[in-house]
Amino acid sequence: MDADLVVSAVAMAGVPALAERLAPNWPEGLPLLSCSKGIDPLGLCSASQLWERQLPSTPMGALSGPNLAAELAKGLPAASVIASRDQELARRLQRELKAPHLRLYTNQDPLGTEIAGALKNVMAIAAGVSDGLGLGANAKASLLCRGLAETGLVLKALGGLPSTLYGLAGLGDLLATANSPLSRNYRFGLLLAEGASEAEARHQIQATVEGPDTARAALKLANREGWSLPICRQVVALLEGNLTAPATVRALMERDPRPEDLQW
């Protein structure tokens, strides 16, 4: 393979088979940059972790951040982060992939970066439901704040860094994805609020929506580890048709009182 870098931007569901197919012929030392966002429902791991199982010695990084494709295609300004334990690789990609309208940062927390990027899709669905029901700015701000805390719990438990949660891959990506009609997961939530089923909403979006599978995978992790992830839990209940959109809101509002805690 005559290449300096491979960039994988396939849907999360396609990563395991692609990694297995490419691994036998992967050139020694050829780096991989993963852009997939999600949690594998079987391995309960990130995209980079799936790649690493097939390519354990390959230099690897993850790209994440507020990257709404339609805005990037128009040349609108944006910033993202390249996360890698190999800082030499991260700095090289930072130099070589920068563009006049795209500013790149680096960090050393690929797992935390990917987990934050995955869970923000679940929170974007919840934000779409909130807006679709007309619940107002107070409700949405509260939802996103608690969604950040929920993401932080998972990120910390899996070994991520606090700085990642409040960086471009965490708070930055959450703000963009949960507030823009360009976000597929946000539009998916709007459709659920209108009464569409998961299948109907997916059909109307006509593109990959990672949030539903991520919510289910996060809930599997929560049940295994004993974590409290109320937003993920209610999103899954809505997806499964066990509750209506208004009922999921009531379930969140009627939870027992507790101290505010960002889990750090």
Residues carrying an active site annotation: 120
Write out the DSSP string of 92-159.
HHHHHH-BTTEEEEEES-HHHHHHHHHHHHHHHHHHHHHHHTT-HHHHHHHHHHHHHHHHHHHHHHTT
Which strand (E) or helix (H) includes residue 6?
strand 6-8
Going by C-beta distance under 8 Å and a sequence separation of 6 or more, which residues neighbour residue 25? 1
CA 147 – CA 143 distance, rounded (Å): 6
- Distance, in Å, from the CA atom of 125 to the CA atom of 209, rounded to the nearest integer, reads 10
State which amino acid sits at residue 251.
Answer: A
Tokens encoding 197: 């089923």
| Rounded to 5°, angle at Cα 128 from 34 and 218 | 50
| Short-list 20, 16, 53, 21, CA closest to 36 | 16
Distance of alpha carbon 210 from the chain centroid: 8
